[in-house]
Every structure is written in structure tokens, then in C-alpha cells.
Structure 1
Amino acid sequence: MVQDGLIGRRRELEVLVGALDRAQAGQSAVVLVGGDAGVGKSRLVAELCATARERGGLVLVGQCAELGESMPYLPLADALWTAARDPNVPAEARAALRAAVEARPVLAGLLPDGPGAAGGDAADLAQQRLFGAALGLLGELSDARPVVLVLEDLHWADRSTRDLLTFLCRVLQRERVCLVGTYRTDDLHRRHPLRPVVAELLRLPAVSAVELAPFGPAETAAYLAALEGAEPSADLVDRVHARSEGNPFYAAELLAAARSGQELPQVLADLLLARLERLSEPAQRVVRVAAVAGRRVGDRLLRRVSGLDETACEEALREIVSHRLLLPDGPDGYVFRHALLREAVYGDLLPGERTRLHAAFAALLATDGGSAAELAHHSMAAHDLPAAFAASVQAARQAERVGAPAEAHEHYDRALSLWDAVPEPERTAGTDRARLSLRAAAASAAAGDLRRARLRVQRLLEVVDPGDRPLRSEIHERLAYYLADLDRIEESIAAARTAIDLLPAEPPTPQRARALATLARSLIWHGEYAGFRKVADQALAAARATGATDAEASALISLGLREEPIRPDSGAEEMFAAAWRLGEGSGDLQVALRAGFHRARAMFERGDLAGAREAIDEGVRLTFDAGLAWSTYGTNMRFLQYLVAYTVGDWAETARLAEGFPVRATTQPEGLLSAYALFTDVAQGSPVVGERLEWLSRLWDTDDFVMLMARGLAAEHALWRGEEGTAIEHVDAVLAALPSNDPAVIRLAATALWAHADRAVRARAAGDDAAVEQAVHAADAMVARARQAATRTIDGHKRGWLGEEGRAWLARAEAEWHRARGDDAPEHWRAVVDAFDYGFVYEVARSRWRLAESLAAHGDREAATAEWRRAVEAADRLGARPLRRALADLGRRARLTAEPAPEAGPLAALTAREREVLKLVAKGLGNREIAAELYISPKTASVHVSNILAKLGVATRTQAAAIALREPPPA
């Protein structure tokens, strides 16, 4: 509901409440609220929170602080910590929140009383794990009640918080979550780091913006009347409005000054400080101490730094609270009523006073075990460089553990800048300067700034002792790794070789093993196979001799990728499985994820679908358990899991999995998942295909793999609609971007050959010899491309095998080529059926369609009818509506059946269970109500509804209900 008491903000509140409505209905929503300091952002959001609480929602509010650049994820930790201890939150909700946080140690480690995040992960994986944990937490909490998560003062947010905000804005979809962020527009100068983030987020479909403008004269008058309880004089309104420029906070302060008979000051900071001057001296001291602490301060810390005795401090705090300078915040702290108050007080401190107070806070934090980031901040402000150095190193390591690599780099960078200014830095840091620099580079790389990581290690080479060969080797190895990630592969290979040459071959060392493994990785990426096997074998030998499991696993993966294409019995699967076990056993998630993906993929390509399904399910479980579902390999594993289910014909499972795949994709990971969902969408003729392709079209010019998947399936979609020209246009665009020897060319060529064959068949029937010749010529060129891709060379030798799917697509391409040439013999299509019969249910059915067509054309009606019926059975079971229509057309034309066409009734394709579900949809029931009615899970109900919409060819539940009401399902 919209509150009448919120003056001048009705429209803005309607936007926020509308977002809450969408979240309650199961569609996550994000609103970014911007405006000048004091314009009423927090007041507006407080109204939304009150509405959410009235509706039984859980409200989580966290604030960034000016220390934000050194305190990662502060608003998230603040929101969780505050709500878990807030007596105004229902006990049941508090218990659920605490249980959900405790089940996710990476989140619990952010809290003041948390166990601390577990170490061992690379900083980038730690961050991805935290992001996944935050998403999982919000999803779990929103199952029970809508959740409003408010992140206040994002203009002060640290880099990791901004990254978390971006992540949540992109991946929140069906969770009942309303995410609200507030920020000062007047602070967003041209180079402010939040500015590009806001611009990027506002392009997302789920994100809307609210911009709070200053009050107009009428609104200022109404606001002053509400504060005064009576109509103020026109002269007072004019003066206050002119001085406040419509800013509600300043208007209230100016009104208070006018009430006390004060002249309205020319400088608004003077107005705020005048409130301080009306306090007693002890109260003024406490406020100044609080200003040094930040926007919020704990009661115990505030009392100790103030230096007042208990009684005097108590009286001072009562006075301050009564004057509404500080407000109680939770059971043990205070917060400034407005950030502008704190800024004015802090800015008015004398330099020496400010330094002494920072020193006092640093001393207490050092003895009481406070945050290392806060300690570093206060120590620097107090000019205590040794303490700032030690705290910066500690804060960097803490930031790594909680998955905040950008902040870790900043802390390391500060520590390195102080290295020469502090005594015994090596003893304090527990390491030497070079290795601290390597840690800083690693943090920078984990934060995505590979260029800065490369530059740091390159500069490090200029200053380290030329005689320290082991250290120089380590630096060159890291440089090689970063160069490879930057696609500067030749430089990477050179750096890796230098790293190896700096170390003796005997005795083997872990560092030499890692350098050899990195060289093997770069050689694979570069496609340079000469001498590869020797390098990989040396890496394995050195790794096993020294127990360097990370190097051993990396070398095994590279070796498997090299050997796999040569022959089907290459042993690559065993290598990937061994690397998987090494990664799992050592807790090295980076290796485990990479190996787990390739282990399942290799099984899939060999045709071991049962093994691939088991392996990929295991890998996906690891990503979800670790909170890494949206990491690179987490995304890869999820699309492979989808692909395996699609291949074996478990399309109910693909529908379930696709619930987590975005339709309105705006990033490469989202685009990849959305493109894979097209497999089933296109095959079932889902109405969502058009929307998916519209969004994916914005990505495929910038990402080759998304283009390959999306445009390849867009071509199939066009062919089912009889649009051969559109299909060929899509295929040609993708082929222009692919190397000629890429195996993906084969499926694309088969799709194009379908189009050319259709054209040739139609032209032949019409007697258009010129069109036939044109289509056959195009088909000849396309089949040549498929054959070339199938026989690509590796290290000078012909490829040993394609994998089961590749071999089947080549057979399909050859059969379509024969069809285009008028030689559509059944044996060509029988070969395609046999090739796909390793378990690819849909493609077997689609191939039987063509086989039945060929058999009928050659007069073998009995065999054609048998193949046709088997294809119909599979198409009906899968809900493959375009194929079913094609089979119905063939059945009528070839007189293969006397049965009525499936289009005789729109509900004919529904199963008995789907008809039951449709009855309840027509009654207006939601998925949860349907689940309760039929004693099934809400997920299963959702899958049934998705299948019904696809089979009926409608986009909404309302349209499906309309069909059901026109033609009630049979009893």
C-alpha cells in the first residue's frame, strides 16, 4: 500500500511496492534508488520495508560505510547480523535466518561472531562460492516468505560488494526477493566506480530505477506543515525552501533552527554543527568520537574511547539521543541520524584531535580483536605505519578467505607501499617482499584484473636478485599463467620455458612440476603439440615425486585433452577421472571442477550416456555444495547436465533444469545457458523461442560460442517453419566465424544441408532444373565442409575419431546431401538411425521420420509404417510438436495411417496427468496449490505446466486456461 504520509513520493513508492508485488508473485525484482544526500532515500525505503513487514516478509537492511573500500561485503554482513538479532523480526524468521547462515560457513565467516571463512580456495573461487551462498540463502529464505534486501549507501560500497550486487541483479529470477540499493547521485562523479555499475545494471530487464528529486515549493510547504503540526507562514516556507533547495533533511534542520529563533546560516554545514554546539561538553566529545568511528559505533567501544566514566558517558548519550544526533541501533550500538551529520562533525575535527582519536580506536581494536580492515584504516589515519602495515597484511589474508580478491589486492598494495617505511617487514608479514607481491598479483588476477597481475610480476622480475633462480622461476611461471589467460600464448610458452630452465632437472621440485604443467597447458591452448608429450610426462614425474597434486592434476588434464581426439582408446577418461580424484582429495576445487567437467564430457562424447549422467550429476552437486553454480565450470557443468538429459530423452528433467536458465540473457554465462535451453524449446516448438533468440541476438556478435549455439538452433527453428533462407543465413554466419576443422562445423553443415535438400526436392517437383542445380551445387560445397571438419589433422595426423555424436551428424549430413541430389535411398537414413541409436532419443526419432519418408517413396509401405509409428511414439512422448506435425503430414501424404491427425483437438497431446494439472490451472490455482492438490512437489507441478504450455503452443497460463474452458479435458 502507498502511505499518504510520505509527502511528494507517491509515484516513487508505487514503483517500489510494484517491485515487492512482483517478488511476492515469484519474479525477483531490483530497484536502484538514487538522489542527493538528505533527499529522503532512506525514508522512502523505510516505507517499503514497513509494507513488506505488514505482509509477513523478511526485511534485511545493511549499510555501506566510508570504510567500505577496506571492509568487503559489509552491507551483506550488516544485514544478516542485524536481522538475526533484531527482536522485531519474528522468532521463526530469525531462527530460519540463523540456520540458513550457519549452513553456509562462507557467509557465517562474515559475521562478528562467525567461525571465520575456511581457507584453501583460490580467491576467485572463494568469491564465487560466497556469491553462490548468498544466492542460495536468499532463495531458501524466500521459499517461506518474501525477502526484501536493502543495501544502503552504495556510493561507499567496496569492489566486492559492487560485484555481489551485479551478480544478484543478473541471476535472481524466480526467487521471491526484492533487492533495493540506495546511493547518492551527487557523489557519483565521472570516475566514481559505482557509476558504470549503475549504468550496466539499468540495462537489465529486472532492474528499475527511482530518482528522488528535491521538493518543489508546494511539497516543501506540506512537509514543513507535517513537521510543525500547523501551517507555517509563507515567508518561512519561502526562506526554508530557498535555503534547502528542496532537500527534506536540510528543510527539517532549517525549520528546527527557525523554531529556536536562530538566523538561518549561509553554510549548511554550520547548521548541522550548531546542533552539536548546543550539547554539553561531554556530549560533544562523545559525538566527535562517534564521528571518527564511522556511521555506526558499538556502545562499549564508544564509552572506552570517549574516556568518560560510566555515569558521565550515560548522561552524555541520553542527551545526544534526545537531540536526535545519534539513534540507538540494535541492542548495543548507535548510528548517526544522517550521514551528513557525521560528515560535518568529522570534517570539523582538528587534525591533531582526529589523529589522537584514530589512534585510540586502533589501540582498542588491536587488543580486543577487531576487524583487521578497521584496524588498518585507523592505524593509517593515526600515522602508525608499523601497525597499519601489519593490519594491512592481515586484512588482505582475511579478504582472500572471504572471497574479496579486489580488497585483498588493495590491502596487499598498501602493505607493499609501506614495506620500506617499517622495521623488520619480513618478520611482521611472515614472508618476503617478492612473495607478498606474488600474493598481490594473484589477488589481482582473481579479481579479474589480469593485466595488473601481469604487470606486477613483470616489474617484480626487474628487482629480484638475479641469483635467486628458484624465486625467478616461480615468478616466470606465474607470468606464464597470466599471459595464457590473456591469450598471449606465445609469450606464455616462452615464460614457462624460462621458468623451467632456471631450475635443475634433478632433484625434482614442486616448483619445476608446476612450471612444466603450466607449459603443457599453454602448449595445448596454442595447439603446439611438438614435444608436448615429453613436457607432460616430465610434469607428471616431477609432480608425483614431490607430492605436487595441483601440478599432477593439471598435467593429467592437459595430457587427456591432447590424447583424447587421436583415438577412442586414448585413456583420456582415466586421466580426467584421476585428476578429479586428486582435486577432490586435496580440496583443490579449481582442479576438481576442471577435471570433473572434462571427465563427464569425455564419457558423453564416447556415447557412455549413463556414465556421463552420473559423472555430471556428481560434478554439479559439488558446484552447488561449494556455492559455485555460477562459476565458469559451474555454468559449464550445468549446461552439460542439461545436454545429457536432452540426449537421453528425459525432457521433464530438462524443463526442471531450464527453470534456472535465464530467458532474458545479458551476459556470456547467461547466454550460454539460455542458448542450451533452445535445444528442447526448438524441438518442442515452445513459444519462448522467439524471446530467447531476441535476447541472445544481442550477445552472439560478441561471443562466438553463444553465436554457435543460438544461431545453429535458430536455423533449426527456421527450418521447422519452412524458412530455408533464414536457416542458411544463420548457418553461414556461424561458419564464417569457425575454423574449417572445428567439429562443430559438422552439425551446422547437416542443418544447412537439410535446407538445401528441401529446396532441391521442391524445385525437382516443380521441374525447375536451374533451381535444382543451384541447390545441389550448394549442397556439394556444404558436404565438403563437413567432411573436411571430420578429418581434421592433429599434429600432422588425421583425426582418429569424432565421438558418437559427431559420427552421427556426419551420417546425417551425408544423407541430406544424397536427398538433395535425388538419391534418397533408405540405406542412407538407416545409417543415420543406427548412428544416433547410441542413446540420442530425439535424433533417432527425427531420423526415422526421414527413413519412413524414403521407404514410402521407394514403395516399402510396411517398413515405412513401422518406422513412422516408432517416430510418432517418441515424438508424442517427448512433446516434440514440430516433428509430430511433420510426421502427421507424412502420414497423410503417404497414407501410412488412418488415425486422425494430432491437431484434431488441442488437448490431444496432453497426458492424463497433464490434463489433471490443466483443470487446476483453469481454476486459477498456482503451482504450490496444484502440488498440494495432487500430492506432488511444486517443482513437478511447474514442469507439468511448462510442458502443457509448450504442447498447446501458448505463452501464458491464462491462454492455456482459455483453451481448457473452450474444450474441457475428457473425464
Structure 2
Amino acid sequence: MQDDSPRPVFIGRDRQLAALVEDAHRVRSEGARALLVCGDAGIGKTRLVDEYRDRTPLGRTAVGGCLELGGDGIPFAPFTALLRDLSRDGGAGPVPGAGPVPEADGTGRARLFESVLTFLEERARGDGLLVVVEDLHWADASTRDLLVFLMSNLGEAPVHLVATVRTDDLHRTHPLRRLLPQVERLPRVSRLDLEPFSRDEVAAQATALRGAPPADPDLLHERSGGNPLFVEAFLDGPGGPLPDGPRELLTSAVDRLPDDARRVVGLIAAAGDRIGHTLLSAVARRAGTGEEALDAALRPAVDARVLRATAEGYVFRHALLAEAVYTDLLPGERIRAHRRYAEALQRGVPGLDEAGTALQLAHHAHAAGDQPLALSTAWAAARHAADAAAHPERLVLLERVLELWDLVPDAAERVGAPRAEVLRLAAAVCLLAGSLRRAVDYATEGLEELGVTGHHDPGVKEPPPHRALIAGLRYVRAYAYKDLGSDGALEDLADAFVVMERGDPHQAAAGALLASTFMVRGHPTRARHSAERALRTAREAGDRGSEADVLVTLGSLTAQEDPDRALRLLTEGIALARATGYVHAELRGWINLSGVLSAEGRAAESYDTARRGLERTGELGLARTQGPAFRLSMGLSRFYQLRVEECERLLDPSAGDRLIRARTWTLIQQLAFYRQDAAGADRALEEFRRLLPEESSSPPEYTPIRFTEMMRTAVEGRFDTAADIARRLLDEGDRDAPHLDGRYMSNLSSVAEVADMMRDEPEWRERAADLTAVLREAAAALPRDMTHPVDRLVRDQVAAQSSQDAAAASRTLEGLLPQVREHRFHRVHLLLAAARAAARAGEPERAAAHLEEVEGAARESGLTLFAELADRIRRAHGLPRPRTRAAGEAPAGLTQREAEVLRLAALGMTNRQIGEKLFISAKTVSVHMSNLMGKLGVANRGAAAAKARDLNLG
């Protein structure tokens, strides 16, 4: 029964249609774009998109709709449909998500998202691809997550991603209320709102539908509110007075149907706004209606345009109509309808896969009020959601099991596990879904369920019952506490070890977590001891994944003490993780190896290692989800080399997980600070704090932020605040072995620079003496046999800067300079310290030579604060001004790059054209323009061009 009714007339959306087509042309020339088509129910969103699909200049089109199942969304429903359509359309490769998604190391969901992205990119090659996701307001959480991922990562692929959203249905707690503003801030996402029809447009619609103008267009416009669906329904309605409201208006066509047709329409409405014929036939048989009788009942509904027949089944003319019909059912009718669906699904429906059957069965059993069946089917459906890496949907189903538990006397027998195990599983799924606080709550409830309300009393020798389950709950809660940066993780892990039976398979994993927790909480000595024990445990148990994880942690911890051993351990951990398929540990190993090389001052090797790690993410199909961490590591390496433009090209603060985005903003803040861009630094700090609130974040994440804050207050002359921050930085770290804590050593170096700056200011010399005394004491306490090259350098640097013998300090600091040729950022700060020491020792020429190198680095990198700090030292010590510009150098204090930018701007080029000419971004050109205009003392581009001609640059 194929529907051949004409499509509703297209009226009044020419401007919006033109915007869609224009967006598509931009997709073909500029890369992927996304558009949210928003408006009230019935306003014409689908009609507009249908018209656009007919006129799009893109070569392929795929459509998927979100399903309304009373909150029980089927994971990835629209993408499952559109990906299968694209697969039938041609092209090699399996459809993403067609089989179970491996979750052994927590990367299954990321791999699934990457595979969908790659699939769409492949199908978009050539003439481009239009992807439509209808009814986003009904989307399951996994669909929303995947959509945001695609919007953020499609990049240059010619994909137009269009989603329709019913905005009048977004109640206060609807997830889209919070999500839409975030999505709209993405650079390639725009929004198109549809307004009601005007009086003339309503009249035009009525005329097109009926072949004659309406008798009373003003009344029709008033009663319909300009809503095209209501206009059409009014015209379809009976003669006489207009219906009282939208529900009566929509259901009037249903009310006129024969009784059998009305019953079938009500039965379909219990499934949502659409249903496949096979399932409907099976359900109808449960209600005593055979195939022929079903066809006879459906025919009037299709003829009356209540339903539309498709190749697979039936769809309501509009989702609002389905909702109105369902609402109009009596309670008993609804329960019977859902019960019949559940019975049909239990018997099996040809053509429905096992996962889809399980998820629909769970929905209908719950809606029918069959609590035992609802519990059992929710438990089974949760397993299928796990196979699809649909963490939010799996959590909803597990929560339903918990809600029904006390209402089903034999719940434990039906599930095959105690309630505490369901709570443990819910907590573990919360970890995967990123709901860390809920993970803590569920794990705590699970422990209380087992009678565990505090920490283990060491005086009690009798082991508690459910030892393995208690240990599992402790482990999950510790993991959540660790990632939250909250107290409690170490205590939970200690208790987990106490109750674990000898040979527990999770012992090595718990040991690995304990070591990494000590590490992120800033206790490297304890972390190292824990890692050594965990490594022995993992090897004895044959737990290769945990062994690889511990090797990576141990390598990172050993870097300060024995760099060569650290590199061996990290390399071994990476190789083992790769051989065993433990992706998380392998990628963590690449990142940490890059970090260890960077900490040793080997910036080029650090960059190459991070690049190899980035290539590995591509091989694993994780480039978009895991790649941002490696690009950030590469950016850091380039920053330390003062290759600033290369650094900036690698940074994308919208990419990666929350932690990587926050760390990216940390580096952006440092770049802005050294460029003397106060507004940019403030914005970066604001974004960082939004992502990582200090009260709920790990303390080491805030160390770079406090470093920049300390330096900024010192540069601004607020040395009291700078000194307070300096003392706080010195208080952080491992007090038992500060020389084994890289964070402490870095803090020691930066505090020494602030004390040095204070000594140049007469009114602050007394406070500087106090801080210098603390530094002198700290440097003296460091061992003389330190193995880490950068630690030895920092120790000698701090000792020299806090020395009272300026001449000796000058010689010591100059002797350290060859060790930091590659780490140019550190070298600049060391040069500033050497210049101060030389000036205090009465050696102005040596001081001036150091400062000239600093000023050259400032010109080359565009980090103008270096030059200002050098100039302050000149003024404080009466040093000569910089030498006269030599041939080939840029004039007026400009860097060579600034001079190039100014020359091209004087030729009339735009920032984008200049960027293309110099192979840099338009944003970087804008920064150079701001800096050079400041140096030239001009207020606009025209004045800068005139100045360029005066300087023979035009």
C-alpha cells in the first residue's frame, strides 16, 4: 500500500530555502557545515528540508529520524538508518556500528565515532553529501554525542549536516536546552529559525491547497496562528465552526474514521509516529486482526491522510498527530497496546535484529506496567546497549532495573546478581559516560547495600562477605574520585586491597590505579613505590594490560631520578600495550614519552615522538578523539622552541576531551601573556576555569595557571601578590623528595626569577631577600648527585640566582646557557637571569650581550614581553640601549615577520590574503598587525600603510 498523495505545497520559505542552498555551496568550496533548523511543531521544518533535498547541489543525500519512545531512545537510531542507506548507495567497507563495539579498554565508543566520521567523509568525496537528522528533540543521548562530535570534526569534508529541532518542546530540563547554545558556538554551525506564516502566506497556502482563496483569511490566520500544519488541518476539517484547539483540530480526521481504522491508528500511535508493517502485523494478530482485516482498516487512514504508507510501513502525517492520538487513548487502551507489542516482540518479529527487539521490548514492557518483565528486559537491553557503546542509554536501563528492584520479589534471580552488583555496574557505566559524581553515588549506595558504611577497621581479622564485590565498588569509586581530583581515592584503594582475596584478578589494575592516583595528586615517591608493587603483581598474575599501564606510569615517575631508565620503561610499556591491544595504555605511553623528552630539554625529539603518536591514533581510527592530546604536545614542543606560529597552527581549544581543551587554553594563556595581550590571557583563563573548576580539579592542573599569574603580577609591579603566589608554589610538591618532583623543580626556577625581578626594585629588596633566603635553603637541600639534566640545571640556576656573589653567579649562569640551546623558552629566562647577575657584578657589556639575544628572540617569536623585560633590566642597571640596526634587519623594532606583514598590508592585501602568501593563519596575521601598529604608534591600517612607505616597506 504505497502512498502516492502529493507533497504539501511549498509556500513562504524562499528566503530560508535560499539560505540552505547557499550553505550547501559553501560546503562544496569551504568544507563541512552544520545547520540547525528550529521552530515550533508543525511550522514546516520537514517540508523545508524536503524541498532543500530536491534542490541541493550536493551529490548524495541520507536521512535519519530520531524515534519518540517515551524517553527510551534507541541508541544511534537516525545514524543507523542513514548509514545503511548510504551503504546501499554504494561504496566499500562495513557500516559502522553494525556489530558489537569492543569495550575492553574504554576506547570502543571513540572508535565507533571515528568510524562513522570516516564513513561519511568517504561517501562525501566528489559531489558532497547532505546528512539530515530529523526530530533532534527526541534524540537519545548517544545520538546527541555523535552529532556534536561530527559537527566538531568533519573539517574540510564536503558534508552538510542538517538537523531539525522542535523548540516549543524543550522544557526546562530538556538536554537540548543546555546543548544547543554550546553547539551554536562551534565555528561551522549556524541556526535557522522558522517563524509562523503571515496572513498573506496563510492565504496563499489555503489557495494552493483548495484552488480558491479562503472565505475569511483573517480568521484562518488568527485561529491557525500562522502554523502551516494547522492551516492544512483546518482546511481538511468538516464544515461548521472551527475546532476549539490544536488537539481537536488534529484528531478531527481520526474521529471520522471507521472504528476498525481508529483502533489500528491508536495501536500504531503506541509505537510512536512510525512503524514497520511486519511488526504492526504481528501486533495486530495479537489483537485478533488478520492481514486482510488490517489492510482494510489501514486503507481509510491512508486515504484520509492520517497515515502515509512507505516502502517499509506507515508514518503519521505529522508527529503531533501521533502524539494527539496516543494522548486520546484511554489508560486501558494504552496498556493493552503496549502489552501486545511486548507479546509480539517476545515471540520474535522477522526482520528485527536482536538488539532492536530487546530495546523495544524493554520500552513496551515498562509502558504496559508489567514490572517483572520490565525488569528482565531492561537488564537484557542494557547488555545490547553495552555492545553498541551506548553508555547513556545503558545507564538509563540499569537505573530502571534499580527502580523496579523492590517491586519484583525475585529480582535477584531474574537478573542473576545481587542489587549491589547492579549498582557497581551502574557506577562503572557512569565512568564511561563521564558522570563521575553519579559514579561515586552509585558505588557508595552499593557499599551501603552490603553494610559497608566506613573504611575497613584493621583490627577486624574476619574477612567480610562479598569481598570481591566490595573491592570492585571501592575500585570504581576510587577511579571516580581520582578523575574528580577529590579526596577519598587513596583510602578506597587501600580498603580494596585489604578485602581482596589473594589472586584477585583485579589486584593488578587496582595497583596501577593507586600508582597513577598518587602521581596525579602530587606524591611521586609514593606513586613510584606503588607502581613497583603493581608491576610485580601484574607480572605474577599475567595481567598484560595492567603491566603495560604500570610501565607507562613508572616510566613517567622515574624521569626525574633516572631519565635513561624512564625512557626504557616507557618504550617497553608502549610495545607491550601495542602487542596486547591495550590502546589506552599505548597512547598514554606515547604522550608521556613525549613529555619526558620535553622535560629533559629535548624539544625536537619530544615533537617527533608526539607526531608518531598522532600517526598511531590515525592507524587505530582514533585521530579525532585522541589526536588533540598529541597535537597539544607537539604545540608545547614548538612553544619551547619559540616556533610560535607553528605552535599556534597545532592548537584547537575546541578539540579533545575536557582536560585536553583546558590544557590547550593554558598554553593559549601563556602565549597571550608573553605577547602582552591581557584580554586574550583573561579569556583563556576564563575558559580554563570553566572547564576545570579549581575546587574539583587535580592541583597539578593549576600549576601553569599560577605560574602565569605570578609572572603577570610581577610584571605589573604587584610584587606582594607575586611573592604570595611564589610561596604557595614552593609549598606544592613532594616534601619527602622534592628533587624527584618535576613540578616542584619547575616552580623553584620560576620563583627564582620573580625574586630576581624584585631585587631590581629598591622598595622590594627586603621582601626579595626573604624569598631569596627560602630559595637558597631549598637549593642547598637538593642532592649533589642529581641525575636528571634539567634538574641539575635548575638546582645550579637557583643557587646562582640566590647567591650573594654576583660575579660567581654570572659565571655560573653563563656556564648553563649551552645546556638549553634547544629549549629556547628556558634559555630566554636564563639569559635574563644571567644579564641581571652580570649587571650586578659590574659587567655591563656581558649583560648587554645577553639582553640582545633576548631581544632577538622577542623579535623572531613575536613574544614582546621578552623585549620589555630586557628593557627593564637596562633601565634598572643603566645599561646601554640596543645596537643600531644592521643591514637586513627590520626597522622600527619590528620583527622580520611583522615587517613582511606590514609590507603586504601596504599593498592592499587582506589578512586572509597575507596569511595565504606567508603560509600562516589569518588570526596570526591579525596578531602581527596589532603588534606592529602598537610599535609604530598608529591607530589603523591606513596609517600603518603610510608608515610602511616612510620605512621603505611599501
1:81–1:922 Cα change, 3 Å = farther
Matching residue's letter, 2:881 = R
Instruction: Tell whether 2:836 aligns with 1:841.
Output: no
1:885–1:726 Cα change, 3 Å = closer
Contact 1:642 1:654 in 2 (8 A): yes
In the alignment, which residue of structure 2 is the partner of 1:643?
Answer: 636
> C-alpha separation between the residues in 1 aligned to 2:30 and 2:943?
20
How far did residue 551 of structure 1 move?
3.5
How far did residue 254 of structure 1 move?
0.9
Instruction: Tell whether 2:580 aligns with 1:586.
Output: yes
Instruction: Tell whether 2:93 aligns with 1:80.
Output: no
**What are the within-5 Å matches in structure 2 for residues 806-955 of structure 1?**
808=793, 826-827=810-811, 829-837=813-821, 839-844=822-827, 847=830, 893-895=881-883, 898-899=886-887, 901-903=889-891, 908-909=896-897, 922=909, 942-943=919-920, 953=930
> C-alpha separation between the residues in 2 aligned to 1:346 and 1:892?
86
> C-alpha separation between the residues in 1 aligned to 2:715 and 2:603?
33
How far did residue 899 of structure 1 move?
3.5
Paired residue secondary structure (1:231): coil
> C-alpha separation between the residues in 1 aligned to 2:244 and 2:85?
39
User: Per-residue displacement from partner, 1:253-285 (whole Å, max 9, x unpaired)?
Assistant: 01221xx53543325333333323555677656
How far did residue 530 of structure 1 move?
8.9
> C-alpha separation between the residues in 2 aligned to 1:383 and 1:549?
47
User: Per-residue displacement from partner, 1:793-851 (whole Å, max 9, x unpaired)?
Assistant: 9xxxx7985955565566666777789x98797525414523423x2135436655776
1:942–1:553 Cα change, 3 Å = same
**What are the within-5 Å matches in structure 2 for residues 502-901 of structure 1?**
502-505=499-502, 508-524=503-519, 536-557=531-552, 559-560=554-555, 563-565=558-560, 567-568=561-562, 571-609=565-603, 611-626=605-620, 628=622, 635-648=628-641, 651=644, 653-658=646-651, 660-662=652-654, 669-677=660-668, 685=675, 690-691=679-680, 693-700=682-689, 702-703=693-694, 708-709=703-704, 712-713=707-708, 724-725=715-716, 735=726, 738=729, 740-742=731-733, 772-784=761-773, 804-805=789-790, 808=793, 826-827=810-811, 829-837=813-821, 839-844=822-827, 847=830, 893-895=881-883, 898-899=886-887, 901=889
Paired residue secondary structure (1:335): strand
In the alignment, which residue of structure 1 is the partner of 2:388?
Answer: 402
1:416–1:904 Cα change, 3 Å = closer
Instruction: Tell whether 2:488 aligns with 1:469.
Output: no
Paired residue secondary structure (1:297): strand
Contact 2:124 2:158 in 1 (8 A): yes
1:786–1:294 Cα change, 3 Å = farther
User: Per-residue displacement from partner, 1:694-753 (whole Å, max 9, x unpaired)?
Assistant: 34335448347676545745777x79xxx9317869856865874623465776776677
> C-alpha separation between the residues in 2 aligned to 1:964 and 1:28?
40
1:857–1:552 Cα change, 3 Å = closer
Contact 2:41 2:320 in 1 (8 A): yes
> C-alpha separation between the residues in 1 aligned to 2:308 and 2:423?
43
Contact 1:888 1:902 in 2 (8 A): no
Paired residue secondary structure (2:169): coil
Paired residue secondary structure (2:214): coil
1:806–1:152 Cα change, 3 Å = farther
In the alignment, which residue of structure 1 is the partner of 2:498?
Answer: 501
1:671–1:353 Cα change, 3 Å = closer
How far did residue 520 of structure 1 move?
4.3
In the alignment, which residue of structure 2 is the partner of 1:336?
Answer: 316
> C-alpha separation between the residues in 2 aligned to 1:780 and 1:269?
80
Number of aligned residue pairs: give it.
898
Contact 1:32 1:209 in 2 (8 A): yes
1:730–1:696 Cα change, 3 Å = farther
Which residue, 48, 61, 64 being the options, matches 1:62? Answer: 64
How far did residue 289 of structure 1 move?
4.8
Paired residue secondary structure (2:381): helix
Percent of pairs with identical residues? 28
In the alignment, which residue of structure 2 is the partner of 1:769?
Answer: none
**What are the within-5 Å matches in structure 2 for residues 426-441 of structure 1?**
435-441=421-427
User: Per-residue displacement from partner, 1:30-72 (whole Å, max 9, x unpaired)?
Assistant: 6555443223333455566666x23x37655432211363412
> C-alpha separation between the residues in 1 aligned to 2:200 and 2:384?
52
User: Per-residue displacement from partner, 1:593-617 (whole Å, max 9, x unpaired)?
Assistant: 4343333322322334455334323
How far did residue 452 of structure 1 move?
3.2
Unaligned runs of 5+ in 2: 1-8, 452-463, 734-741, 934-939
Contact 2:591 2:629 in 1 (8 A): yes
> C-alpha separation between the residues in 1 aligned to 2:706 and 2:11?
51
Mean Cα displacement is larger for which, 612-621 or 296-305? Answer: 296-305
In the alignment, which residue of structure 2 is the partner of 1:152?
Answer: 134
How far did residue 548 of structure 1 move?
1.9
**What are the within-5 Å matches in structure 2 for residues 471-486 of structure 1?**
471-486=469-484
Contact 2:269 2:326 in 1 (8 A): yes
1:427–1:441 Cα change, 3 Å = same
1:115–1:402 Cα change, 3 Å = closer
In the alignment, which residue of structure 1 is the partner of 2:344?
Answer: 360
In the alignment, which residue of structure 2 is the partner of 1:261?
Answer: 239
In the alignment, which residue of structure 2 is the partner of 1:37?
Answer: 41
Mean Cα displacement is larger for which, 601-610 or 277-286? Answer: 277-286
Matching residue's letter, 2:472 = E
1:672–1:220 Cα change, 3 Å = same
> C-alpha separation between the residues in 1 aligned to 2:784 and 2:350?
64
Which residue, 233, 250, 272 being the options, matches 2:250? Answer: 272
Mean Cα displacement is larger for which, 828-837 or 865-874? Answer: 865-874
Mean Cα displacement is larger for which, 890-899 or 270-279? Answer: 890-899
Paired residue secondary structure (2:64): strand
1:868–1:672 Cα change, 3 Å = closer
Contact 2:902 2:945 in 1 (8 A): no
Paired residue secondary structure (2:72): helix
How far did residue 443 of structure 1 move?
0.8
> C-alpha separation between the residues in 2 aligned to 1:480 and 1:652?
41
How far did residue 355 of structure 1 move?
2.8
1:671–1:20 Cα change, 3 Å = farther
Contact 1:612 1:644 in 2 (8 A): yes
1:904–1:577 Cα change, 3 Å = same
Matching residue's letter, 1:274 = S
How far did residue 338 of structure 1 move?
1.1
1:138–1:389 Cα change, 3 Å = same
In the alignment, which residue of structure 2 is the partner of 1:766?
Answer: none
Mean Cα displacement is larger for which, 779-788 or 62-71? Answer: 779-788
1:756–1:145 Cα change, 3 Å = farther
> C-alpha separation between the residues in 2 aligned to 1:739 and 1:751?
10
Contact 1:155 1:194 in 2 (8 A): yes
1:48–1:752 Cα change, 3 Å = farther
Mean Cα displacement is larger for which, 859-868 or 212-221? Answer: 859-868
Matching residue's letter, 1:546 = A
Paired residue secondary structure (1:62): strand
Which residue, 434, 438, 447 being the options, matches 1:452? Answer: 438
Paired residue secondary structure (1:615): helix
Instruction: Tell whether 2:327 aligns with 1:347.
Output: yes
User: Per-residue displacement from partner, 1:930-954 (whole Å, max 9, x unpaired)?
Assistant: 69xxxxxxxxx75476766655557
> C-alpha separation between the residues in 1 aligned to 2:271 and 2:207?
35
> C-alpha separation between the residues in 1 aligned to 2:247 and 2:886?
89
Please, what TM-score do these two structures have when normalized by structure 2?
0.76
Instruction: Tell whether 2:206 aligns with 1:224.
Output: yes
